[in-house]
Amino acid sequence: MGAIELRSPDFEHLGVIPDRHAHDAGNVSPSLEWVGVPPDAVELLLMCEDPDAPGGSFLHWLVTGIDPHAGGVPEHVTPAGGLEWPNGFGENGWGGPAPPPGDGPHRYVFTVYALSARGDLPDAPTVEDIYRAADAAMLERGTLVGLYER
């Protein structure tokens, strides 16, 4: 079982996320590309979280129901077949980086999960709920980490 390779043409792994993706700038979701999705995947689940947020892991993006044959998503677009959920700002869809000024760089962890069954999530899922649902049906996953500070 090989991992899904997740990457972005907008930033390198452990590289700086461009300002246009920040919540208080353009708030544009980044382009993402992935390869290595198992052929028996039923759907993909995509999330982005900031594990360095002062109040605990902060959800920046959650998309479920993504077509497992999609090889990625262009900038500022909902992934094919995907349903965007509310983020930690209470907005539907992408909510870009917004760490406290002077807090140093935060990590923004993008994870794509290939699932063997539809993810079962409550109406307002926490990051822990997402992990539980993804882990219950996960075939494989891929991770990309970007950095951002103000």
Q: Report if residue 147 sits inside a domain.
A: no
Q: Which domain holds residue 99?
A: 19-135
9 in a domain, yes or no? no
Q: What's the pTM value of the predicted model, to 2 decimals?
A: 0.96
In the chain, the number of structural domains is 1
Query: What beta strand segments (E) does 19-149 contain?
Result: 32-35, 43-50, 58-66, 72-73, 83-84, 106-115, 138-148
Within 8 A by CB and 6+ apart from 75, the residues are 10, 28, 29, 30, 31
- Please report where in the chains the tokens 């219950």 appear, as a residue: 136
Contacts (Cβ under 8 Å, ≥6 apart) of 110: 6, 8, 30, 32, 46, 47, 48, 61, 143, 144, 145, 146
Residue 11, domain member (yes or no): no
Q: How does pLDDT run along the chain (150 residues), one tens digit per residue?
A: 459 999 999 999 999 999 999 999 999 999 999 999 999 999 999 999 999 999 999 999 999 999 999 999 999 999 999 999 999 999 999 999 999 999 999 999 999 999 999 988 998 899 999 999 999 999 999 999 999 999
Q: Which residue has the tokens 């951002």?
A: 148
Using an 8 Å Cβ cutoff, are 101 and 27 in contact? no
The values of phi and psi at residue 122, to 5°, are -70, 170
Instruction: Check which CATH number belongs to the domain holding 95 and give it.
Output: 3.90.280.10
Q: What is the DSSP letter of 74?
A: -
SS3 3: coil
* Cβ atoms within 10 Å, residue 29: 25
Look over the chain and give the mean of its residue pLDDT values, rounded to a whole number: 95
Q: Is residue 99 part of a domain?
A: yes
On whether residue 150 sits in a domain, the answer given is no
Residue 24 lies in a domain: yes
pLDDT in tens, 42-84: 999 999 999 999 999 999 999 999 999 999 999 999 999 999 9
